[in-house]
């Protein structure tokens, strides 16, 4: 959708409003340089916030109405709640009472004209909008029929507003926030309208950092979250280690603007987030297999930032096939690697089938039985392949063994009957096929099992030291 010119407004200082805010902040200038290593792996020192206290996470983009509702998501320890829960501290309380950390979706990228959204009615603050020419707010008409204005995050009053906002969320009991649109904000990929990421707003009255680009100030605002005592997940939309789209291209490097080889990268994209969300952890069937394999290996094992990525399977990830079989295949494909993963699939046709019950449930499937699979630490350093189709290194049975479970994935269009899977544990275990919700090997304690694998199928296996 092409951008729409917004109305022109006189730029008005909001000195009184700024002085009324209790929390005034100054952004952090971050301009360290990359060294040309793969996709954001450069840097002078590792930065490793604590890993999530559970392997898997949940995204709940519906109203949080009760603690029991959150418990039905499975034994998660981290829940990202949707924008429906803004200014609802009881939502944070329900998540935490269920034993999880509570994160709230918070927009900083753009805001709709004509209604309050995420704590801001932007058309009442036209001087807070980002401009490409003169004083005209940059507007894009979106699918909801409204114009959305990009936020000028370099305007001091905007940063004051956001800092106060984050402090209030902390007082409400939230543990962290989730920033969306990271890929568009930092690189321009997926951006609607003309690119802004390397541009400086033409109408900033009181810049926090003179000459800062849209991408620079998006990074600056992420620092405000940590100053408020909150944790931060940034939705980058794909792996930050994907070599085709480096996470933080330098907006002042013409090679980056032109998406040419040799683009210089900055390290500050890792400085403030606790975790980076990747919605491109898998693709249908064997699509983009080699790239996903490499990126997910970095997601787990990058020497500087491994363990800092959270994966998310969405309807877009599934390529339009929202079936249970496809969800299990993609989940197992990703869990060949040890990093947190969630499922949030919107299916308007499914009713409440395969959906966690709750208010407004007919749209969102989260697959709590997958969220609750306890794999533990890997026993194998990398996934292994067997029973490959002749001449292929991809169309194989892929597997990986963990201390508390295993993953088996048939990446081919042929069925594989009776595939032998050796657990690799010290001593025998009782094994359950999560897909069938049934014990294997006659519910006996065994050191190996056989699994029947339909084409394009994934089978998570769970172990324990007593019968199921």
Question: Is 194 strand, coil or helix?
Answer: coil
Residue ranges matching CATH 2.60.40.1180 in the chain? 384-464
* CA–CA distance, 373 with 406 (Å, rounded to integer): 10
Token digits for 49? Answer: 């916030």
Tell me the per-residue pLDDT of 131-170, one tens digit each, with 9 for 90 and over: 999 999 999 999 888 999 999 999 999 999 999 999 999 9
pTM: 0.85
The length of the chain is 468
* Rounded CA separation 305/307 (Å): 6
Rounded CA-CA distance 242/259 in Å is 14
Q: Is 447 helix (H, G, I), strand (E, B) or coil?
A: coil
Check: CB of residue 159 under 8 Å from CB of residue 221.
Answer: yes
Question: What is the distance between the alpha carbons of residues 389 and 391, in angstroms, rounded to a whole number?
Answer: 6
Nearest to 109 by CA among 262, 222, 274, 204: 222
Asked if residue 306 lies in contact with residue 275, where contact means CB atoms within 8 angstroms, the answer is no
CA dist., res. 223 & res. 204, Å (int) = 20
Write out the residue limits of the CATH 3.20.20.70 domain(s) in the chain: 3-371
How sure is the predictor about 54, in pLDDT bands with cuts at 50, 70 and 90?
Answer: low
Burial of 303 (0-12, 13-18, 19+ CB in 10 A): exposed
Tens digit of pLDDT for each residue in 87-96?
899 999 999 9
How far the first Cα of the chain sits from its last, in Å, is 54
- Reply yes or no on whether the pLDDT at 231 is more than 60: yes
Tell which CATH architecture fits domain 384-464: Sandwich (2.60)
CATH 3.20.20.70 assigned to 3-371: yes
Among candidate residues 46, 40, 44, the one with its CA nearest the CA of residue 265? 40
CA dihedral 344, 348, 352, 354 (to 10 degrees): -50
Distance CA 247, CA 263 (A): 11
Rg (CA), the chain: 23
Closest CA relative to residue 456, chosen from 402, 419, 399, 416: 416
Which tens digit of pLDDT belongs to each residue from 32-50? 333 333 333 333 333 444 4
Q: Where does the pLDDT of residue 31 fall: very low under 50, low under 70, confident under 90, or very high at 90 and above?
A: very low
Strands of the 397-401 sheet, one edge to the other = 384-386, 397-401, 405-410, 457-464, 430-433, 438-439
Instruction: Summarize pLDDT for 290-340 with one digit per residue, the tens.
Output: 999 999 999 999 998 988 999 999 988 999 899 999 999 999 999 999 999
Distance CA 18, CA 39 (A): 39
Contact (CB, 8 A) for 350 and 369: no
């Amino acid at each position: 959708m092409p951008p729409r010119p917004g109305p022109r407004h006189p730029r008005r200082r909001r000195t009184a409003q700024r002085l009324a805010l209790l929390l005034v902040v100054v952004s952090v200038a971050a301009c360290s340089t990359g060294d040309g290593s793969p996709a954001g792996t450069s840097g002078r020192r590792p930065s490793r916030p604590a890993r999530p206290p559970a392997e898997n996470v949940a995204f709940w983009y519906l109203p949080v109405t009760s603690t029991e509702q959150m418990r039905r998501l499975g034994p998660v320890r981290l829940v990202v709640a949707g924008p429906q829960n803004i200014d609802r501290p009881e939502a944070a309380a329900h998540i935490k009472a269920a034993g999880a950390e509570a994160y709230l979706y918070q927009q900083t990228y753009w805001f709709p004209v004509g209604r309050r959204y995420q704590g801001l009615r932007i058309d009442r603050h036209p001087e807070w909008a980002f401009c490409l020419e003169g004083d005209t707010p940059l507007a894009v008409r979106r699918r909801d029929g409204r114009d959305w204005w990009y936020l000028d995050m370099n305007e001091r009053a905007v940063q004051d507003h956001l800092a106060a906002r984050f402090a209030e969320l902390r007082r409400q009991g939230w543990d962290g926030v989730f920033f969306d649109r990271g890929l568009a904000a930092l690189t321009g990929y997926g951006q609607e309208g003309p690119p802004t990421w390397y541009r400086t707003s033409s109408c900033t009255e009181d810049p926090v950092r003179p000459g800062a680009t849209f991408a620079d100030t998006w990074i600056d605002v992420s620092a405000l979250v940590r100053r408020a005592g909150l944790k931060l997940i940034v939705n980058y939309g794909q792996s930050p280690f994907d070599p085709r789209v480096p996470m933080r291209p330098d907006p002042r490097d013409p090679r980056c603007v032109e998406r040419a080889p040799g683009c210089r990268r900055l390290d500050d994209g890792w400085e403030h987030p606790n975790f980076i969300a990747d919605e491109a952890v898998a693709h249908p069937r064997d699509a983009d297999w080699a790239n996903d394999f490499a990126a997910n290996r970095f997601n787990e094992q990058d020497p500087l930032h491994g363990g800092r990525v959270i994966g998310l399977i969405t309807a877009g990830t599934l390529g339009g096939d929202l079936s249970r079989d496809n969800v299990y295949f993609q989940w197992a494909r990703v869990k060949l690697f040890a990093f947190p993963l969630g499922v949030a699939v919107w299916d308007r046709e499914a009713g409440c089938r395969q959906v966690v019950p709750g208010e407004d449930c007919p749209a969102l499937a989260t697959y709590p039985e997958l969220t609750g699979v306890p794999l533990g630490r890997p026993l194998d350093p990398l996934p292994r392949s067997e029973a490959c189709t002749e001449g292929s290194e991809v169309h194989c049975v892929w597997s990986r063994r963990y201390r508390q479970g295993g993953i088996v994935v048939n990446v081919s269009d042929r069925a594989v009957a009776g595939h032998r899977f050796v657990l690799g544990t010290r001593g025998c275990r009782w094994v359950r096929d999560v897909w069938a919700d049934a014990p294997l090997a006659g519910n006996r304690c065994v050191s190996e099992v056989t699994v029947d694998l339909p084409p394009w199928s994934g089978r998570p296996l769970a172990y324990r030291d007593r019968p199921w």
